[in-house]
Amino acid sequence: MIAQLFALALVATPGETVWSEVQSRWRPRLEPLLTEVLAFPTVWTDQEALAAQRRWLARIGPELGFVVRDRETITEIDLPGPEGAPVLGLVVHGDLQPVTASEWTVPPFAATYKDGAVWGRGAADDKGPLVEALLVMAALRTSGVARTHTVRLLVGTDEEHGAEDMETYKKQHALPDLSLVLDSDFPVVVGEKAWAEWVILAQERTTPATGPVEVVDLSAGQAVSIVPDVATLTLRWRSGTPDWERWLRPVRGAKLPAGTTLEVRGTGGERTVVVRGRAAHAGVGLSRGRNALVALAVAMHGRLPPCAASDLLEYVHAAGRDTAGRGLGLPPPDPLWGPVDTNFGVLSREGNGWFGLRVNLRSPPSLWGDALRARVNAHAQAFAARRGARFTTGGRFGYEPFVVPTDAPLVQRLLAAYTRGTGRPGKPVVSAGGTYAQRMTNAVPFGMWFREDGVYPGHASDERMPIRSLELGMRALAEAVGDLATSPPITHPLEAATARP
């Protein structure tokens, strides 16, 4: 009996077998694959780069033993199971947030290896997880472990710009029976805040210009989901001999928010004020960011003549300095979900000559959608009425919060896999980031970022991912895939225990 028990103790779990295969056979491919995929500048506007990356996937997939199908908006990469088997999905995206190259210390669209990490746009969000998934799937294939599921890696192309790729895909193709979305935090995310893009358009005033200067142009930010790292204001002296030294003295002397800087450029009748901060993810990395637009609003407060650009800058000063929504008159933080994360992300001139301000709002289930829209619109219009500005509001408020029962079978299985893979106790978490899980059925975010590594670096300048965390993430994913892909299907993966008979 003792010998039998000892023999059973020596039998590896499927996840341990898969991880052993990763280490012995597939780990050497990690850096080469990262180097290749990080070279594609797949910002959503670069359709050529996105197409080139899809061709790369079509080449790499068969090399690793997979079946690849290009569905245009989504690439399917299959490790087939038995005929008619249910499908376990692993979901990532291959598109990227834009960059300001001058704010990086390394080339943004290349893999740089230093300080124990891989640096480059997408290292964490979401090309590092893409490579991790490929290698774990390859290890599952060569491990010899019998599979009960087809494992399907879905690689999206539009997650950072609205996730319409998934909406298009699921109209024509069946979603996996259950999915792990590899685009968030470990251990398991059971809640994602609602996401909104609020737009305020400022129409130019009809009254004559006053004061010694006028606004020529104003711009800040790259995308609404990124804390703006640069804000630029160009001014022109209206008449007479320019006295810039005197006019700019209060601007130069303004007490800027910590982590931001201001410089003035130009000669003659024009000056350009450039404020720099630090880019960061507007959800999970918001505290890491230093908002250059807010700092510019602080520096220019009360200095500019009434006009569309100054109306918006003054509103940023009034409402945008607090990232928890208090400047917008929103409720205090929810005990579980936290505040309405607020990022005044983009300000630019519109095609019709107006100026537009775009604000990212990430809110708890208690306030989202039309209710949130009504609150912030009323706040902006009240400000406009007091100032004599002309604001038109709009935006997108239809992305609802994502909520999963913590005792759902899939959640519990993934927590156990995380603990086996990392040796750490796991508990469900709530995230301010939004993922494909909100647009799928039977899907939950599972990694691949460890909160122990600090604030999430996705969307930030000098984005990086520690190599040890990539390895540990593969270890946790090997346990999860080794369990789920080799076991009988879960009948109701996201149903609460209290709802089951």
334 falls within a domain: yes
| Residue pLDDT, tens place only, 295-329 | 999 999 999 999 999 999 999 999 999 999 999 99
Asked if pLDDT for residue 341 goes beyond 60, the answer is yes
315 falls within a domain: yes
Domain that includes residue 282, residue range: 195-399
My answer on whether 238 and 385 are in the same domain is yes
Q: Do residues 134 and 33 lie in contact, with contact meaning Cβ atoms separated by under 8 Å?
A: yes
Domain ends where: 399, 423, 458?
399
8 falls within a domain: no
Nearest to 347 by CA among 279, 296, 404, 284: 296
Q: Could you tell me the pLDDT band of residue 501, with boundaries at 50, 70 and 90?
A: low
| Residue pLDDT, tens place only, 193-218 | 999 999 999 999 988 878 999 999 99
Asked if pLDDT for residue 475 goes beyond 90, the answer is yes
30 falls within a domain: yes
Asked if pLDDT for residue 156 goes beyond 50, the answer is yes
What is the C-alpha separation between 375 and 208, in angstroms, rounded? 33
Q: Could you tell me the pLDDT band of residue 108, with boundaries at 50, 70 and 90?
A: very high
CA dihedral 98, 102, 107, 108 (to 10 degrees): -10
What is the C-alpha separation between 100 and 359, in angstroms, rounded? 19
Q: What is the pLDDT of residue 12?
A: 79
For residue 163, the tally of other CB atoms under 10 A from its CB is: 22
Q: Which residues contact 238 (CB under 8 A, 6 or more apart)?
A: 209, 211, 212, 213, 214
Q: Could you tell me the pLDDT band of residue 429, with boundaries at 50, 70 and 90?
A: very high
Total structural domains in the chain?
2
My answer on whether 248 and 372 are in the same domain is yes
382 falls within a domain: yes
6 falls within a domain: no
Write the single-letter amino acid at 384.
Answer: A
5 falls within a domain: no
- The b/e string for 201-233 (b: 16+ C-beta within 10 A; e otherwise) is bbbebeeeeeebbbbeebbbbbbbbbbbbbbbb
Asked if pLDDT for residue 129 goes beyond 90, the answer is yes
Domain ends where: 399, 432, 448?
399
Domain ends where: 399, 416, 438?
399
My answer on whether 202 and 328 are in the same domain is yes
Mean pLDDT of the chain: 94
My answer on whether 373 and 411 are in the same domain is no
My answer on whether 336 and 448 are in the same domain is no
Q: Do residues 184 and 451 lie in contact, with contact meaning Cβ atoms separated by under 8 Å?
A: no
Q: Are strands 184-185 and 448-449 parallel, antiparallel or unpaired?
A: parallel
Mean pLDDT of 220-224: 95
Share of the chain above pLDDT 70, in %: 97
What is the C-alpha separation between 183 and 284, in angstroms, rounded? 12
Q: Could you tell me the pLDDT band of residue 63, with boundaries at 50, 70 and 90?
A: very high
Alpha helices in 320-466 (DSSP H): 369-387, 409-422
Nearest to 446 by CA among 413, 471, 468: 413
My answer on whether 20 and 124 are in the same domain is yes
My answer on whether 151 and 294 are in the same domain is no
CATH code where residue 293 lies: 3.30.70.360
My answer on whether 158 and 180 are in the same domain is yes
Q: What is the pLDDT of residue 455?
A: 83
| Residue pLDDT, tens place only, 265-281 | 999 999 999 999 999 99
Q: What is the pLDDT of residue 452?
A: 84
My answer on whether 408 and 463 are in the same domain is yes
My answer on whether 268 and 140 are in the same domain is no
CATH code where residue 142 lies: 3.40.630.10
My answer on whether 426 and 454 are in the same domain is yes
What is the C-alpha separation between 120 and 35, in angstroms, rounded? 9
Q: Do residues 167 and 104 lie in contact, with contact meaning Cβ atoms separated by under 8 Å?
A: no
Asked if pLDDT for residue 500 goes beyond 80, the answer is no
3 falls within a domain: no
My answer on whether 139 and 200 are in the same domain is no
Q: Could you tell me the pLDDT band of residue 5, with boundaries at 50, 70 and 90?
A: very low
